[in-house]
Chain A
């Protein structure tokens, strides 16, 4: 009896912290395979600093997925926000702070449009965000003449990647802060509970007096805002805005969100798990790249991780119900 319950407990711990243990093992293996190159502070801080955009976009997906909505426009909002900043700052000469605020406001507007179509009109979120995202891609090409715009104010670049704390660019801390904030919101506020119930069963939520539509609206609007913020970080990282490359954040974002739902709070999309998942994938790619493997490995890694993660989370859920 004691034996059995302790085995169950070990199983639960294994489920909860399994990814962290594998993460640690992976770091060990790469450290041994490339002594003095992989586990150096400069490599570690580079990897930590380079993933803030992905962390932030993943957090926005965690919010929408928890509400049982799919936001395929996430990366499009990111790119559009980035381009809005570039056009306003470089072409029109607006102060970068103003440009950033306008870009964030634009994210809210996109969230509002998404939620109007999903919540009020009742169209499937997958379709709405696919369409809205494509429209945004078109707008991005239009306002940029399909060109990369560089020369964005140093102020932004400094605040994102140049200034460092403990050798790590500030943007890492922005991602970390957003993660802590979302974790708090999910676990320690009534709003977090409402999001959870709306996502799991809108009918139960409604009969419990939760304003389901308002929660869905809030989720899509905050997702828009957060994606626009990811765009700000993206612009700050490169000092430029290009109309295409940011779109490739969508799949890794989903991969990390699903992968993250297998750890920390197994069976639920959660900010902590997502953060770990992002860095698990990033260090994995860094490790194999240092081994001299070609860059196509990135696609293998993210695509494979998405499929593995979804399979794992399915298995976890099945076992638990």
Chain B
């Protein structure tokens, strides 16, 4: 079958994959509403939308991870598929996934990762390693990847890891006969952590796959990338499909407008270089911070200010809190806190706590609290030094915890309850109470209301505002634009590890923040903003 015949089939014959009438309800919220989503043979179909718009719910239904509401239909190659899809069943239909976490085992070799499924499941009594190495080399060179099959995955560059995961998924698809006859490769935010040159390599792999007749569903935040690679684009907002458009019939502005849901205003955000007009001396200065995915950023903040940090996934904003706290290794940079200067390369959590920094980490279950221990044990940890270290006064500690429980309205009000038995919102309040009782100078937040119910969210915002009013500076890294609009005095927008824009008090509206984030965050964002001014 030639290329031409296949191209001619696009749009004429039955779609490769089609969701109809797809809805999904979680409790009282509807994550997807009557979605229709069609993927043609041999096309790159991009799925775009904000955080929480429903993109990943759709992907997870396809993977059989979530069950859709009844009435939903899925057609593959013109045949109905029974929903809910059994987990793992997608393989039979030639569908392959690459999730953001990549699902590679870092401590074993590239070869073992590539061939994991075959080697484990085929039940061979003799594995010819010579043969396997040759096959792996073949495969990698077919995708023009210069990776040693015998290297451990942890030793290869992060960008190459992402490409390796994709090659593995493509290979899995080919082995099941998917490639060339109905395969669908689903890439969930594959470019978020990739440097630009690896994005180019990814795109060439995608083109290769399309040329062989398979389809790609490309989930992304990045508007420029989507415009570069996709044939068609479906925009999801608040669980509904807003539009499905042909890439060459749309523009970046029109697309962003669809994603955030309202037209672009005339004025653009103030550039960072224009400087802050606030009076007074900044109390907190960060100079030339580099580390993680952050490249040489400088930030100044005032006493009592809540400064928001945001951007798209992988833009580096969420690395700022752990880098300042020394939970993540910085390669360069200084922090000046009330005229005391700290070398960030040498920062560690002990020093950070002494400098009166506190960190509310994004993953409170594995980094913030020990769920198997009680509220009083968790809460009293940072203040044990205030008691006699060699004769802990348990009654005093419990009394102190009870006061905090009352102040922060933690439910149930039982100091001896295990933290794991509390709701997400109450856990977060425990974490805040635990640290704010130390009267910090600088509070570092990372997604402070992640997994927190609405009621507790309001309380947490109240707590943070009160804390700021008492003179503490708060840095809040968040991807929740509503949150940023509600509590921040200023918001810095990150892209590719740098601060590209600053939004002042007057511009802090949810939709505006979302829009600026998408414009700035797309890979050509900086240039676009400059042209716009």
Among A200, A203, A209, A317, which residue has its beta carbon within 8 angstroms of that of B350?
A209
B369 touches A204 (CB 8 A): yes
Q: How many angstroms from the CA of A207 to the CA of B381 in the assembled complex?
A: 11
Q: How many angstroms from the CA of A193 to the CA of B371 in the assembled complex?
A: 15
Q: Is B353 an interface residue (CB 8 A)?
A: yes
Q: Is A245 an interface residue (CB 8 A)?
A: no
In the complex, what residues of B have CB within 8 A of residue A209's CB?
A: 349-350, 352-354, 382
Interface-facing stretch out of B30-38, B170-178, B385-393, B459-467? B385-393
Among A196, A320, A321, which residue has its beta carbon within 8 angstroms of that of B377?
A196
Q: Is B327 an interface residue (CB 8 A)?
A: yes
B377 touches A193 (CB 8 A): yes
Q: Give the Cβ gap from A31 to chain B, nearest Cβ, in Å.
A: 38
In the complex, what residues of A have CB within 8 A of residue B370's CB?
A: 197, 200-201, 204
CB contacts under 8 Å to B, within A175-224, are 187-193, 196-197, 200-201, 203-204, 206-209, 211
Q: How many angstroms from the CA of A101 to the CA of B51 in the assembled complex?
A: 65
Q: Is B420 an interface residue (CB 8 A)?
A: yes
State the interface size on chain A (CB cutoff 8 A). Answer: 22
B384 touches A193 (CB 8 A): yes
Q: When A189-B389, A189-B391 are in contact, do A320 and B418 touch as well, CB less than 8 Å?
A: yes
B349 touches A206 (CB 8 A): yes
Q: When A320-B418, A321-B418, A321-B420 are in contact, do A204 and B392 touch as well, CB less than 8 Å?
A: no
A203 touches B384 (CB 8 A): no
B350 touches A207 (CB 8 A): no
CB contacts under 8 Å to A, within B325-373, are 325, 327, 349-350, 352-354, 359, 361, 366-373
A207 touches B392 (CB 8 A): no
B390 touches A189 (CB 8 A): yes
In the complex, what residues of B have CB within 8 A of residue A321's CB?
A: 371-372, 418, 420
B366 touches A190 (CB 8 A): no
A188 touches B382 (CB 8 A): no
Q: How many angstroms from the CA of A208 to the CA of B379 in the assembled complex?
A: 11
Number of residue pairs spanning A and B whose beta carbons lie under 8 angstroms apart: 68
Q: Give the Cβ gap from B211 to chain A, nearest Cβ, in Å.
A: 45
In the complex, what residues of B have CB within 8 A of residue A207's CB?
A: 325, 327, 349, 359, 361, 367-368
Q: How many angstroms from the CA of A209 to the CA of B389 in the assembled complex?
A: 15
Main secondary structure of the interface of A (DSSP, over half): helix
Q: When A190-B385, A209-B349, A321-B420 are in contact, do A204 and B368 touch as well, CB less than 8 Å?
A: yes
In the complex, what residues of A have CB within 8 A of residue B394's CB?
A: 187-188
Q: How many angstroms from the CA of A204 to the CA of B371 in the assembled complex?
A: 10
State the interface size on chain B (CB cutoff 8 A). Answer: 31
In the complex, what residues of A have CB within 8 A of residue B385's CB?
A: 190
Among A187, A190, A201, A204, which residue has its beta carbon within 8 angstroms of that of B389?
A190
In the complex, what residues of A have CB within 8 A of residue B380's CB?
A: 193
A201 touches B349 (CB 8 A): no
Q: Is A267 an interface residue (CB 8 A)?
A: yes
B349 touches A189 (CB 8 A): no
Chain B residue with minimal CB distance to A189? B390
A191 touches B389 (CB 8 A): yes
Q: How many angstroms from the CA of A209 to the CA of B435 in the assembled complex?
A: 12
A193 touches B368 (CB 8 A): no
In the complex, what residues of A have CB within 8 A of residue B418's CB?
A: 320-321
Question: Which interface residue of A191, A206, A209 has the most chain B CB atoms within 10 A?
Answer: A209
A188 touches B369 (CB 8 A): no
In the complex, what residues of B have CB within 8 A of residue A188's CB?
A: 390-392, 394
A208 touches B382 (CB 8 A): yes
In the complex, what residues of A have CB within 8 A of residue B389's CB?
A: 189-191
Q: How many angstroms from the CA of A62 to the CA of B391 in the assembled complex?
A: 21
Q: How many angstroms from the CA of A188 to the CA of B359 in the assembled complex?
A: 27
Q: How many angstroms from the CA of A6 to the CA of B368 in the assembled complex?
A: 33
In the complex, what residues of A have CB within 8 A of residue B353's CB?
A: 208-209
Q: How many angstroms from the CA of A203 to the CA of B325 in the assembled complex?
A: 14
Chain B residue with minimal CB distance to A208? B381
Q: Give the Cβ gap from A320 to chain B, nearest Cβ, in Å.
A: 7
In the complex, what residues of A have CB within 8 A of residue B373's CB?
A: 196-197, 200
Chain A residue with minimal CB distance to B322? A207
In the complex, what residues of B have CB within 8 A of residue A267's CB?
A: 372
Q: How many angstroms from the CA of A7 to the CA of B240 in the assembled complex?
A: 50
In the complex, what residues of B have CB within 8 A of residue A193's CB?
A: 377, 380-381, 384, 392
In the complex, what residues of B have CB within 8 A of residue A189's CB?
A: 389-392
CB contacts under 8 Å to A, within B151-208, are none
Q: Give the Cβ gap from B440 to chain A, nearest Cβ, in Å.
A: 12
In the complex, what residues of B have CB within 8 A of residue A187's CB?
A: 392, 394
Q: How many angstroms from the CA of A206 to the CA of B366 in the assembled complex?
A: 11
Q: Give the Cβ gap from B162 to chain A, nearest Cβ, in Å.
A: 25
A204 touches B391 (CB 8 A): no
A211 touches B327 (CB 8 A): no
Q: Give the Cβ gap from A266 to chain B, nearest Cβ, in Å.
A: 12
In the complex, what residues of A have CB within 8 A of residue B361's CB?
A: 207
A208 touches B349 (CB 8 A): yes
In the complex, what residues of A have CB within 8 A of residue B327's CB?
A: 206-207
Q: How many angstroms from the CA of A192 to the CA of B420 in the assembled complex?
A: 21
A201 touches B366 (CB 8 A): yes
Q: How many angstroms from the CA of A317 to the CA of B373 in the assembled complex?
A: 11
Question: Which interface residue of A203, A208, A320 has the most chain B CB atoms within 10 A?
Answer: A208
Among A196, A197, A204, which residue has its beta carbon within 8 angstroms of that of B367?
A204
In the complex, what residues of A have CB within 8 A of residue B369's CB?
A: 204
In the complex, what residues of B have CB within 8 A of residue A191's CB?
A: 389
Q: How many angstroms from the CA of A207 to the CA of B431 in the assembled complex?
A: 12
In the complex, what residues of A have CB within 8 A of residue B325's CB?
A: 207
Q: When A203-B367, A209-B349, A321-B418 are in contact, do A197 and B381 touch as well, CB less than 8 Å?
A: yes
Chain A residue with minimal CB distance to B368? A204
In the complex, what residues of A have CB within 8 A of residue B359's CB?
A: 207
B392 touches A190 (CB 8 A): yes
Chain A residue with minimal CB distance to B363? A203
Q: How many angstroms from the CA of A197 to the CA of B381 in the assembled complex?
A: 9
Q: How many angstroms from the CA of A38 to the CA of B372 in the assembled complex?
A: 41
6 contacts between A and B (CB under 8 A): A190-B392, A193-B384, A200-B370, A200-B372, A206-B349, A207-B367
Question: 8 closest Cβ contacts across the A-B interface?
Answer: A209-B353, A190-B389, A190-B384, A200-B370, A209-B350, A188-B392, A201-B370, A209-B349
Q: What would 17 more interface pairs be, CB under 8 Å, given A189-B390, A207-B327, A207-B367? A: A189-B391, A190-B385, A190-B390, A193-B377, A197-B381, A200-B370, A200-B372, A200-B373, A204-B368, A207-B349, A208-B349, A209-B349, A209-B350, A209-B382, A321-B371, A321-B372, A321-B418
